[in-house]
Amino acid sequence: MSDGMTYIHDIGQFTLVCANCGATAAGTSKRFRCACGTPFDLSLDTLAQDATVEALRARFAARLSALSGPERSGVWRYRELALPLADEHIVSRQEGNTPLYAVGAAEREAWRSIGVYAGVEALYLKHEGHNPTGSFKDRGMTVGMSIAKALGARAVACASTGNTSASLAAYAAQAGIPALVFLPAGKVATGKLAQSVAYGARQIAVAGDFDDAMRQVESVAERLGIYLLNSINPYRLAGQRSIGYELLHQLQWQAPDWVALPAGNLGNTAAIGAALVRAAEVGLIARVPRLAAVQAARANPFYQSYADQWRGFAPVHASTRASAINIGAPVSYARARAMIEATRGVVTEVTDDEIFATKARIDRAGIGCEPASAASVAGVRRLVREGVIAPGETVVAILTGHVLKDPEQATASEPEAGAEVSDLLRAIAETLQASSPRA
């Protein structure tokens, strides 16, 4: 590397630390829970700060012009702040680099319909569905799979509502490591299932829901020495932090007031929160944006705990149609809660009807997303109505997955079969009339 940065070659130099009891483990550990039961975090001490803010910004900007190599990736571009891993370990496919769409009510294009619906003048959609396998999971997976390969893992595994498994399958194939995915039988969207089959992962159908699959994979991985790549693995979360860094970079380091995202297993809430806090600590931004974590009302243990002033936390039986976030016992509860507190954030909930009505708006704008992703914008809309978010504040909502992930839930009406030409012409005339010219 020519930029003077020290990259880590030996995974043992990383340290895992327990936020609850302070115990530590080597970065090479294949166990991600401390003896006290809390998932380990990656120690931030490893992310040594070797550059001034100006130098960091200049490095990130220069790497935008990379045409190949790790720094072409929207994850590894920020590796000083995500994971300063040396090139030889990196399994990457140019993930990240996702668009930030301006859709606020103050915009002039048709996309402003989304901002009008949400009630926000300056609204941005960070579309993580534009990752190589169509969801934000690729950002954590490039890091997790790089570590798995560096440690010589003989197999990798995860439990998943569908996106993590699609991502794991693709990156495992690239790394040349056999992959096992534990899926709740009958509860995974078609597009996601098709991906893990196509990429060659071995699927294990678990009778029950995601929470059952998660319990199974944790015990199987431990017994068989298989490297676990759920977001309980802190390296996954290190990669997911890059969503925060990239969106701040795209806003030219002007912090938005809010960052809203769908919340399920809570890894992403923890990771993005950590990135926002870190970016302010380092001086890349002047203040920490507030997190708004949005749960489906029928899979809302995090919201319930928040609404109860964090007095308790009880898993629920989840049953939302937004299958990606159909999770009742989130693994990253404690670290996500810490990030809501550190960012003066909020947690809210939205009904399935609100999620699907919002998805229809995002789809009709030509942008599209999977159901769980629409929860972020639905949550913003609710928080504006409740007076928590002011219409003049700047909001970034994360769209976590692509519209093609869940084709059964597409909101377009079916074309009429066997219509006469005269019917078609009438339908066309109606469509043209309905799209009134702009004033």
Given a contact cutoff of 8 angstroms between Cβ atoms, the answer to whether 326 and 319 are in contact is: yes
Task: Please say which residue, 72 or 192, places its beta carbon nearer to ligand F0G.
Answer: 192
**H and E: helices and strands count for the chain:** 13, 13
The contact pattern for ligand F0G, residues 210-239, with x = CB under 6 A and - = no contact, is ---------------------x--------
CB nearer ligand F0G, residue 8 or residue 395 = 395
Q: For residue 141, state whether it binds ligand F0G (rule: CB under 6 A).
A: no
What whole-number distance in Å separates Cα of residue 271 and Cα of residue 293? 12
Residue 379 binding ligand F0G, by CB under 6 A: no
Looking at 92, 142, 160, 394, which residue binds ligand F0G (CB under 6 A)? 160
Residue 59 or 137: the one with the smaller Cβ distance to ligand F0G is 137
Does 163 engage in binding with ligand F0G (CB under 6 A)? yes
- Please tell me the distance from the alpha carbon of residue 256 to that of residue 122, in angstroms, as a whole number: 9
Number of residues that bind ligand F0G (CB under 6 A): 23
Name which of residues 261 to 280 contact ligand F0G (CB under 6 A): 262-269
146 lies in the site for ligand F0G, by CB under 6 A: no
Q: Which CB, 70 or 273, lies closer to ligand F0G?
A: 273
Strand 156-159: give its sheet, edge to edge: 202-206, 179-184, 156-159, 227-228
Q: For the window 66-105, what string marks contact with ligand F0G as x by the rule CB under 6 A?
A: ----------------------------------------
Check binding of 362 to ligand F0G (CB under 6 A): no
CB of 137 to ligand F0G, least distance (A): 6
Give the DSSP H or E segment for 205: strand 202-206
Asked if residue 401 binds ligand F0G (CB under 6 A), the reply is yes
CB of 182 to ligand F0G, least distance (A): 10
3-state secondary structure of 268: helix
Look at residues 105, 110, 83 and name the one whose alpha carbon lies nearest to residue 14.
83
Pairing of strands 15-17, 24-26: antiparallel
Residue 55 CB, nearest approach to ligand F0G (Å): 32
- Asked whether the beta carbons of 208 and 236 are under 8 A apart, the reply is no
CA–centroid distance for 204 within its chain: 24
Distance between CA atoms of residues 255 and 415, nearest Å: 44
164 binds ligand F0G (CB under 6 A): yes
Q: Per CB under 6 A, does 191 bind ligand F0G?
A: no
Residue 373 as a binder of ligand F0G (CB under 6 A): the answer is yes
Q: Helix, strand, coil: what percent of the chain each, to 5?
A: 45, 15, 45
Pick between residue 161 and residue 394 the one whose CB is nearest to ligand F0G. Answer: 161
Sign, Cα dihedral of 103, 109, 111, 116: positive
Angstrom distance (rounded) from CA 397 to CA 375: 9
Q: Does residue number 142 form part of the binding site for ligand F0G (CB under 6 A)?
A: no
Does the protein bind ligand F0G through residue 368 (CB under 6 A)?
no
Q: Is 162 in the site for ligand F0G (CB under 6 A)?
A: yes
Q: How far apart are alpha carbons 249 and 399 in whole angstroms?
A: 17
Q: Scanning residues 314 to 343, which ones bind ligand F0G (CB under 6 A)?
A: 324-325
Radius of gyration of the chain (CA): 21
Give the CB-side neighbour count of residue 91, counting CA atoms within 13 A.
24
10 Å Cβ neighbour count for 202?
13
Stretch that binds ligand F0G, among 43-51, 94-102, 309-317, 365-373 (CB under 6 A): 365-373
Q: Which is nearer to ligand F0G, 263 or 275 (CB)?
A: 263
Query: Least distance (Å) from ligand F0G to the CB of residue 230?
Result: 8
Q: How far is CA 182 from CA 5, 177, 201, in A?
A: 39, 16, 10
Query: Binding of ligand F0G at residue 400 (CB under 6 A)?
Result: yes
The minimum distance between CB 1 and ligand F0G, in angstroms, equals 31
135 binds ligand F0G (CB under 6 A): yes
Q: Does 161 interact with ligand F0G (rule: CB under 6 A)? A: yes
Question: d(Cα 284, Cα 253) in Å, to the nearest integer?
Answer: 6
The nearer residue to ligand F0G, 146 or 231, going by C-beta atoms, is 231
Q: At 262, phi and psi to the nearest 5?
A: -75, 145
Instruction: Look up residue 23 and give its two tokens.
Output: 């115990």
* Residue number, 122 or 261, with CB nearest to ligand F0G: 261
Exposed / middle / buried, residue 173 (Cβ in 10 Å: 0-12, 13-18, 19+): middle
State how far the Cα of 208 lies from the Cα of 17, in Å rounded to an integer: 32
Identity of the residue, 8 or 294, whose beta carbon is nearer to ligand F0G in the bound complex: 294
Structure tokens given for 197:
């089959």
Stretch that binds ligand F0G, among 157-165, 201-209, 282-290, 304-312 (CB under 6 A): 157-165
Per CB under 6 A, residues contacting ligand F0G are 135, 137, 160-164, 231, 262-269, 324-325, 370, 372-373, 400-401
